[in-house]
Amino acid sequence: MKIYLVGGAVRDKLLGLAVKDRDWVVVGSSPEEMIKLGYQQVGKDFPVYLQPETKEEYALARTEKKTGLGHSAFSVDITPTITIEDDLLRRDLTINAMAEDDEGNLIDPYGGQEDLKNKILRHVSPAFSEDPLRVLRVARFSARFAHLGFEVAQETLGLMQHLVNNSELDELPAERVWQELRRALGEKTPAFFFLTLRDCYALGVVMQEIESLFGISQEKARLSLMALTKAAELTSDTAIRFSALCYELPVTHDFSFVKNLRKLESLCLRLKIPNDYKDLATITCLYWDSCSSLNLHESEPVLTLFENCDAIRRPERFQFFLTACKAIRRAAEENEADIDYRNKTLLHLLNLCLNVDTSAIRDAGYENEEFGIQLRILRLETIDDYLVSLNNEN
């Protein structure tokens, strides 16, 4: 029985990056022996176990054979004679197909260290094209390492396009697509996830709403990806990043000037995107432009924005909304000092509205709907008083 450190931990160690998670492969063992040694099995599809003390994942060395369409149509072999080289051969990219033994020796049968040196994302073997999920994974690794200069090898891009042409991506469950999208949004340069998918013609298959931006206008698509990039510079929150990406999705009708959220709703419904992401993206799509052009000399537009965004009930989400708006406006190269001044003022005004003294209107006997009317008047007066004082100072 031999145990090897594998995958991302080895890769990141060679890159000089912090190692966050460690995965292990066990060669020459069996499920019965792992259980006997106190390891706890997790999941039913693959022979993965939790080490009793560290709780890190230990997987039996395995090979896989394609049995049908889709990401999960594989049979797995875990016989003890499978070598570490056999196990590494089934992995997606050469930079993820390296291992380290208990003495610190590198096992690199497929050229991962050389590809790290040359900053290339390259498939390990032709078996890459058996799993459509790898198209999204490669795009995600592009988003993770693009800032270091990594690029996808042309032959790998060709295999990704082959998977698209064979309609294999159609077989991916929505949950897996969203999982990869969410993880990509959290990477260093998330815009490269979408650019890489476009390079192999996959974006129109898995996220046609985002692809449609390129059809409508190259400038709209550029601004959307730039807003995502700016959001990534401002925050690690993936819901904010998603909102910045989607801000150009609505279409404004020429005559009614009513925003159409069908594309956003379609994207969220199909990929089963969580409601907190959808809700933040919705208010961003609807109100980012009115927020950006807000007149800070009048109380009514300010309070209307708060009401439209449900800011008084959800002040934290309103802060996320303002961060998304800041990313959008930075993408349009607006003055950052002006953006920060507006956001700071709006947050202060929101805080004033949250803390208005309602004792006078309660003492006057107002209730229910009348109380709400009087409370709104009080909030307008509070906002107006502050804006007058602010403008007098300026």
Average pLDDT for runs of 10 along the chain of length 394: 95 94 93 92 81 92 72 73 95 97 96 98 94 96 97 97 92 93 97 97 94 85 96 98 93 61 93 97 95 91 97 97 97 92 96 95 92 96 93 72
**Burial status of residue 363 (CB atoms within 10 A of its CB: 0-12, 13-18, 19 or more):** exposed
Q: What are phi and psi of 52, to 5 degrees?
A: -60, -30
Class of domain 1-118: alpha beta
Tell me the C-alpha distance between 97 and 5, whole Å: 11
Specify the pLDDT at position 65.
77
Predicted pLDDT at 64: 79
**Residue 49: both structure tokens together:** 């176990």
pLDDT score for 283: 97
CATH number of 119-206: 1.10.110.30
Cβ-proximal residues to 88 (8 Å cutoff; 6+ apart), any chain: 6, 97, 98, 99, 107, 109, 110, 124
pLDDT value for 392: 78
Beta-carbon contacts of 144 under 8 Å, excluding residues fewer than 6 positions away, are 187, 188, 189
Residue listed under structure tokens 């974006």: 203
The reply to whether 1-118 and 119-206 are identical in fold is no
Query: Domain spans of the chain?
Result: 1-118, 119-206
pLDDT of residue 256: 54
* Amino acid 394: pLDDT: 63
DSSP-derived 3-state class of residue 92: coil
